[in-house]
Amino acid sequence: MIGTNRGPRYSGAGLLWRGLRKSNWPRVWRDTPLKKSYDVVVVGGGVHGLATAYYLAANHGITNVAVLDKAYLGSGGSGRNTAIVRSNYLTPEGVAFYDRSLALYKSMSADLNLNVMFSERGHLTLAHTDSAVRTMRWRAEVNKLQNIDSSVIGPDEIKKIAPSLDTSPHTRYPILAALYHPPGGTIRHDAVVWAYARAADAYGVDLHQKTEVIDIECAGGSNPDGKGEGAKVTGVKTSKGDISARVVVNCTAGWAGLIAGMAGLKLPITTHPLQAAVTEPVKVFLPTVVVSGSLHVYVSQTDRGELVFGASVDPFATYDMGGTLDFTEELAGHVLELMPAVSKMRLLRQWAGLCDITPDYSPVMGFTPVEGFFCDVGWGTYGFKAGPVSGEQMAKCVADQATPELIAPFALSRFEHGMLVGEKGAAAVGH
Amino acid sequence: MMRRLEPQSGEFIDRSQPLKFTWNSKKLVGFAGDTIVSALLANNEQIISRSMKYHRPRGVLSADYWDPNTTVQVGDEPNVRAGHRLLETGIKVSAQNVWPSLAYDIKAANRLAGRFLTAGFYYKTFMKPQRLWPLYEKVLARFAPGGVVDLNTPHGYHDKRYAHVDVVVAGAGPTGLAAAISAAQAGMSVMLVEHNHRVGGHLLWGSDQDRETAAELANLAKVAGVEILTDSTVTGRYDDNWVAIAQRNHPGVVERLIKARAKTLVVAAGLIERPYVFAGNDHVGVMLSGAARRLINNYAVRPGHKAVVLTANAQGDATVSDLERAGVEVVAVVDGRKGQTISSASGSSKQLKTVITSDGSKLEADLLVTAVGWTAPTSLLNMAGDRPSYNPTAARFFPTALPDNVLASGGIVGDGSLDELIAHGRSTGKLAAQRAAVIQHRLRTTVTRAVKPDGTEPPLPQDTRKPLVIAPHPELYRADTHGMVDYSEDVSSKDLLGAAAEGFDSVELVKRFTTATMGPSQGKLETVNTVAVLAEAKGETIEQVGTTVWRPPYAPISLGALAGRVFEPVRVSSIHEWHEANNMTPILAGQWIRPEHYGDPNAEVANVRNNVGIIDVTPLGKLDLRGSDVTKLLNLVYTNKWSKLPIGAVRYGIMCAEDGVVFDDGVTGRLSENHYLMSTTSSGAAQVWQWLEMWLQTEHPEWQVHVTPVTTGYTSINIAGPKSRELLNRLVDDVDLSSEAFPYMNVRIGTIAGVSNCIMWRIGFTGELSFEVHVPSGFGLHVWEQLLAQGADLKVHPFGLEAQRIMRLEKGHFIVGQDTDGLTKAPTTGLTPLIKLDKEDFAGKPELQWSLDAGAAGLPVLVAITPNDPSLVPDEACQILRQGTTEIVGRITSSRFSPTLQRSICLGQVASEFAAAGTELTMRLCDGSDATATVCTHHAHFDPEGVRLRG
């Protein structure tokens, strides 16, 4: 790791040496007191926030940075998603963006010296209807032209890739075809959080857990309290003390609206839960990621042998992460439609994460009407996939004080002009 | 060496019923009433599994459902809890996660490398060279624990049950039984759910007197009318006490899901015994006191010969006398209350031999029993929002705050004599009944549109129960040595300390980094020890460290039980059987099966163009709208205007989402002053209904509109072709079908072939003169057959979806979702005149306003396209490129060979700069070759003036 601070590199030899000497590894990141002032305060210690902090330090030399999280690092969506990555999107903007993200993920283990266990196991999106097959062909044709490896395959080939899928024509939702995307796969989501945290820390970035932002201090704004449009950020009040800072980056996903509200901004974002579940482990039998848009389900098997399931976002807005029984019932029903052989496997745990949904299912990135208050929010159900590239671009945005081209379509101001972008067509088909 | 004891007074086994089974292909015999584990132990099979990472041999730890060491494969069922599952005759039981065999496991060599394979070691290595990682990954995946899924396992048949009870009691120990009895005696319907196979809880492995008490309570419960479910677990408590119960002993299925909306839930789940952390605590022969007592008293199995007992409570003391009674020599009793503990246990891989106590005594024993305290399974309370807090006096967590409709009793909330526990249970049951009555009243008053019950809500009865005492218990978590904390994940206290030293020092981080508590028992045995070791590492108290959130389900539940039967029937119209009998080629369209054609779609097209055809269009979404505010709703959801639609008229409209994207289209007709029929696309029917209800329920609850989906209430038939009027005239007497009396885009109600109340509208997707009739479903087939019979001389012939698609493409009608997509705003479709920005408001208005203000610049345009080679039919996905580049400037959305025009025709979306008529386009075909095409002047390739349609 190319940090300035210190820290032994992780390696097999290191494991051997410490095993022999029976010594522990040093702290993965420092436990530091909150300073009175930072150049940049990143709110939210998930993949987006940590990547932003890391790239600020690594690419732009801005190291007087704090990342604040009200709980522990990766406690939000970063630790709750189903860790699927892919780049077979539909719009040129989407493809360019996610392809960069996938590239950063692919080399992350080596770049950040922590094995994030990127598993390039392929990604199958199933089509059960005539119209879904047509959409798949469309995606395949678009991807072909963008040099993304993705093609439409038939039931026989699907069966070869994933023998547990019932590809017979007599099921309730017969599998007619699939979009196969070999570069897609899964990654260990927590490891991504830790890799960025450790790498950022090595550059001197301070990571503050259990540090909740209570207020954002502004001056000169149009609201009676000096916040809102035209204001300048001056600092952050936290549960552990006050910080003065001129730049605050909001990377809080489900809580994005609340944090923006502290700066006097109202974001066009609603928060919806997205539920997921995991089974008991069994010996590995599902070698690829399987997604069915029409059945609202995606499934992959971890290296630990558990099946991890996700679904579509719940239709109601709430901050409640309790999860519902109905979700598990519908999920199980649809999974068994695809893979009847797992009927005796047992569901071990269900959970929910919060998704920050915008009207066009695209993120809000970059500047806001409050000077010094930046947003990297509105990621909805696919923030994890975009984490690395978002951090890279947000860091560039903050450092250069200019919007990088890659994220220009995602400016907050688009909602004032009706210039909505859409990966809705592609994002809606899920993971 | 048999380990079965002489008959015990509390034994569950039926010695008159021997059962044969196999264990790793070895033939063994147990008794009815045995669990798999008790039968294995009775056969002197002590090693039941190998651990996940180090493949250490593992024997019985808790001998119950949560035992992390006794998960086995039974036939095609993986991960069976052998400490809980009853023996059945003929079952094939095998060890999981062993290679090549349970006795000799090669991966046990990992133990030698254990010091290098610290928790999370895989995060620190295998990074380079990157290309080798897939190989490493395959090796790691081989260490995945668990059983094997047989890919031939059938889906199985699973039903669910909906239970409507007042009170659900989780746990049928003495307190749960007492609570159920008193709630039932207060007049409530009560469901008592017991995880184990028998009610009575810990009384069952106690004294004869205890068992008598259990039997008395069980009898009282029966008499009081309590429904008792055994071998069933309350797996989840969701919002408003939506309670999930996994019933494992329902005949004929692996599991059944019971769903109950309990007015009150009583949680009396008892306590789970906690292992002690020391070197060798996962050795075969080390077990918990509850396991030893159950094995002796309930299964007549002697757990060892020479035992050391570490006891810190009454259960440990009772174990000593149980062991002695069973003829086990107790070589030492180590009393945790006096500060004595165990340091280590060791022996061969098959047998425990030596136990070393904290004062250094070396004891020879093949059995070490520990009784060091309890974990309160607060899972269901967690799901109700409670965050338990640690009490160091009692060395366990207790609930802090529960909602009104959840009560806890028994070990979860305190200690006491049996009488005190039963008394607490009784008062809890009484309170649960009182609260259920109030909640019942509340539920009835909150139901909208119902007659409210009399009276005001009675006050919620306050909790006046005499609390149970909290008895002191020594805090015994870890000895001066390191041992297993999470058995199923092979995570030791040393791993946890190492992880904490590395900075993974909050309970959630340490869990994620080491995977402690993430295994099959989800922390039931492991969580508190994990917290305790972490507290030790951080120099904090257990309360400061806190605990993780227990998530549903409390006990794992099979996917089959959760799935149940899929209530998503395949949909067919009332004419379906006729289609099947008449050479239909079916096509799946969403949930529907429809005729794609009846042999020759091109001939079907020609027949419609020249004579008359009929098509079954029942899947077309139909919504019956009634009320004085229907026009307001129509004005809101459609982009065009509806205020002046006369009675008897039909109008076309498009619906946009709030981002201006077209999401459905269709016609709506006004049948009478306050009665309309709306049609939607076939695939959009449900979505539109939801959309209307969303506006009505959330934005305009004051509007007087009632929406009823009637898609399958009517059978819909389109009669199309130049002779359609002549045909329909033969069946209709009470409606004048002439062009003057019943012009295009009008609706009439009349009688068809004797069937009254049929709705007829004059619209057409095919471009021909056509009548779409909606016939009450019961008479759909009758009308269909009459049309065919009466029209034989007119050469009437049915046509399918394919012919309709060809004709609509000839006519240039687009299909939402095929020619449009998730990004297609209304102006793209060419229907800008239907966007009425002078309306006060409608869904998508601001977005469309912006788009149109900008002259729709940047939006693609839907155009008709003809390939320059008339015989070339491009695929409906092929992309349109800027010539000489790979820049995508559009795509073909619909493409067919037109039998009418004898050439290929298409619809496509292109960038606006390519939309002018006559523009030459470059298509990249799916095979990679390029071809040219030309943009047409009009969407319609055929009859652009609509002469035929209006005839």
- SS3 percent helix, strand, coil of chain B, rounded to 5, is 30, 30, 45
Q: Are A302 and A84 in contact (CB under 8 A)?
A: no
Find the CB nearest A280 among B146, B878, B886: B146
- As a dihedral over the C-alpha atoms of residue A355, residue A356, residue A360, residue A362, rounded to 10 degrees, the angle is -90
pLDDT at position B375 is 96
Task: Give A28's contacts in chain B (Cβ within 8 Å).
Answer: 502-504
Percent of chain B with pLDDT over 70: 98
Q: Are B271 and B397 in contact (CB under 8 A)?
A: no
Q: Which of B559, B849, B924 to mutate to test the interface with A (most CBs of A within 10 A)?
A: B559
Minimum Cα–Cα distance from B489: chain A residue: A304
- Look at residue A427 and tell me whether its pLDDT is greater than 50: no
Where is average pLDDT lowest: A389-398, B11-20, B141-150, B558-567?
Answer: B141-150
Tokens read off for B470: 């909290």
Please state, in angstroms and rounded to a whole number, the distance separating the CA atoms of residues B843 and B660. 8
Minimum Cα–Cα distance from A279: chain B residue: B556
Q: Which of B123, B159, B847, B852 to mutate to test the interface with A (most CBs of A within 10 A)?
A: B123
A97 CB-near residues (< 8 Å, 6+ apart): A89, A386, A389, A406
Q: Which of B117, B122, B562, B849 to mutate to test the interface with A (most CBs of A within 10 A)?
A: B562
| pLDDT tens per residue across span B78-100 | 999 999 999 999 999 999 977 77
Backbone angles phi, psi at B224, to 5 degrees: -75, -5
Check B503 against A328: CB less than 8 A apart: no
Please provide the size of chain A in residues.
431
pLDDT at position B506 is 92
Check A120 against B134: CB less than 8 A apart: yes
Backbone angles phi, psi at A228, to 5 degrees: 85, -165
| Separation in Å, CA of A13 to nearest CA in chain B | 8
Please state, in angstroms and rounded to a whole number, the distance separating the CA atoms of residues B813 and B767. 9
Where is average pLDDT lowest: B83-87, B331-335, B522-526?
Answer: B522-526
Side-chain half-sphere exposure of A157, counting CA atoms within 13 A: 11
Mean of the per-residue pLDDT values of chain B: 93
Beta bridge partners of A215: A237
| Separation in Å, CA of A289 to nearest CA in chain B | 15
Confidence of residue A24 (pLDDT cuts 50, 70, 90): confident
Check B502 against A337: CB less than 8 A apart: no
Task: Give B158's contacts in chain A (Cβ within 8 Å).
Answer: 343
Kindly report each contact of residues B334-341 with a partner whose C-beta sits within 8 Å and lies 24 or more positions away, as own/partner. Answer: B334/B308, B334/B309, B334/B310, B334/B358, B335/B311, B336/B310, B336/B311, B336/B312, B336/B371, B336/B372, B336/B474, B336/B476, B337/B311, B337/B312, B337/B474, B340/B310, B341/B276, B341/B278, B341/B310, B341/B476, B341/B479
Where is average pLDDT lowest: A91-100, B778-787, B915-924?
Answer: A91-100
pLDDT at position A7 is 74
Minimum Cα–Cα distance from A198: chain B residue: B503
Minimum Cα–Cα distance from A31: chain B residue: B503
Check B140 against A19: CB less than 8 A apart: no
Please state, in angstroms and rounded to a whole number, the distance separating the CA atoms of residues B53 and B490. 6
pLDDT at position B928 is 92
Check B849 against A304: CB less than 8 A apart: no
Mean pLDDT of B793-809: 97
- Element (H or E) spanning A55, and its range? helix A47-60
- Say if residue B100 is preceded by a cis peptide, omega within 30 of 0: yes
Q: Are B705 and B772 in contact (CB under 8 A)?
A: no
User: What is the rounded radius of gyration, in angstroms, for the C-alpha atoms of chain B?
Assistant: 37
Minimum Cα–Cα distance from A415: chain B residue: B847
| Separation in Å, CA of A145 to nearest CA in chain B | 6
- Say if residue A8 is preceded by a cis peptide, omega within 30 of 0: no
Check A31 against B503: CB less than 8 A apart: yes
Find the CB nearest A303 among B140, B560, B818: B140
Tell me how far the alpha carbon of residue B929 is from its chain's centroid. 45
- Look at residue A420 and tell me whether its pLDDT is greater than 90: no
Check B559 against A347: CB less than 8 A apart: yes
Check B559 against A137: CB less than 8 A apart: no
Find the CB nearest A343 among B144, B559, B659: B559
Q: Is B436 helix (H, G, I), strand (E, B) or coil?
A: helix
Beta strand spans in B783-873 (E): 797-798, 861-867
pLDDT at position B111 is 66
Q: Which of B127, B137, B693 to mutate to test the interface with A (most CBs of A within 10 A)?
A: B127
pLDDT at position B449 is 46
Task: Give A428's contacts in chain B (Cβ within 8 Å).
Answer: 822
Check A344 against B254: CB less than 8 A apart: yes
| Separation in Å, CA of B77 to nearest CA in chain A | 6
Please state, in angstroms and rounded to a whole number, the distance separating the CA atoms of residues B904 and B634. 38
Check A117 against B137: CB less than 8 A apart: yes
Task: Give A284's contacts in chain B (Cβ within 8 Å).
Answer: 141-142, 144
| pLDDT tens per residue across span B642-686 | 999 999 999 999 999 988 889 999 999 999 999 999 999 998 999
The one-letter amino acid at B485: V
| pLDDT tens per residue across span B817-830 | 899 988 888 899 88
Check B141 against A22: CB less than 8 A apart: no
* CA dist list (Å): A107 to A101, A102, A116, B131, B605: 10, 9, 10, 11, 57
Q: Which of A171, A295, A344 to mutate to test the interface with B (most CBs of B within 10 A)?
A: A344
Where is average pLDDT lowest: A364-373, B117-126, B197-206, B388-397?
Answer: B117-126
Q: Are B37 and B60 in contact (CB under 8 A)?
A: yes
Please state, in angstroms and rounded to a whole number, the distance separating the CA atoms of residues B771 and B783. 14
pLDDT at position B138 is 79
Q: Are A267 and A256 in contact (CB under 8 A)?
A: yes
**Cβ contacts from A onto B, under 8 A:** 303
| pLDDT tens per residue across span B685-710 | 999 999 999 999 989 999 999 999 99
| Separation in Å, CA of B921 to nearest CA in chain A | 17
Beta bridge partners of A272: A355
Q: Is A409 helix (H, G, I), strand (E, B) or coil?
A: helix
Site of tokens 């009318």 = B225
| pLDDT tens per residue across span A386-402 | 999 999 999 999 999 99
Where is average pLDDT lowest: A419-428, B114-123, B379-388, B732-741?
Answer: A419-428
Minimum Cα–Cα distance from A336: chain B residue: B155
| pLDDT tens per residue across span B399-412 | 999 999 999 999 99
pLDDT at position B454 is 64
Backbone angles phi, psi at B791, to 5 degrees: -105, 10
What domains are defined for chain A? Answer: 32-114+189-269+360-427 (3.50.50.60), 123-183+271-357 (3.30.9.10)
Task: Give B660's contacts in chain A (Cβ within 8 Å).
Answer: 418, 420
pLDDT at position B99 is 73
Q: Which of A346, A350, A414, A417 to mutate to test the interface with B (most CBs of B within 10 A)?
A: A346
pLDDT at position A6 is 60
Q: Are B630 and B794 in contact (CB under 8 A)?
A: no
Tokens read off for A20: 């022999």
| pLDDT tens per residue across span B119-134 | 888 888 888 777 777 8
Kindly report each contact of residues B541-545 with a partner whose C-beta sits within 8 Å and lies 24 or more positions away, as own/partner. Answer: B541/B390, B541/B392, B542/B390, B542/B392, B543/B389, B543/B390, B543/B392, B545/B506, B545/B507
- Look at residue A4 and tell me whether its pLDDT is greater than 60: no
- Whole-model pTM: value is 0.91
- Say if residue B553 is preceded by a cis peptide, omega within 30 of 0: yes
Beta bridge partners of B867: B933
Please state, in angstroms and rounded to a whole number, the distance separating the CA atoms of residues B774 and B716. 4
Check B137 against A305: CB less than 8 A apart: no
Check B661 against A422: CB less than 8 A apart: yes
Find the CB nearest A24 among B146, B259, B502: B502
Kindly report each contact of residues B757-761 with a partner whose C-beta sits within 8 Å and lies 24 or more positions away, as own/partner. Answer: B758/B783, B759/B669, B759/B671, B759/B677, B759/B714, B760/B728, B760/B732, B760/B735, B761/B650, B761/B667, B761/B669
- As a dihedral over the C-alpha atoms of residue B290, residue B295, residue B300, residue B306, rounded to 10 degrees, the angle is -90
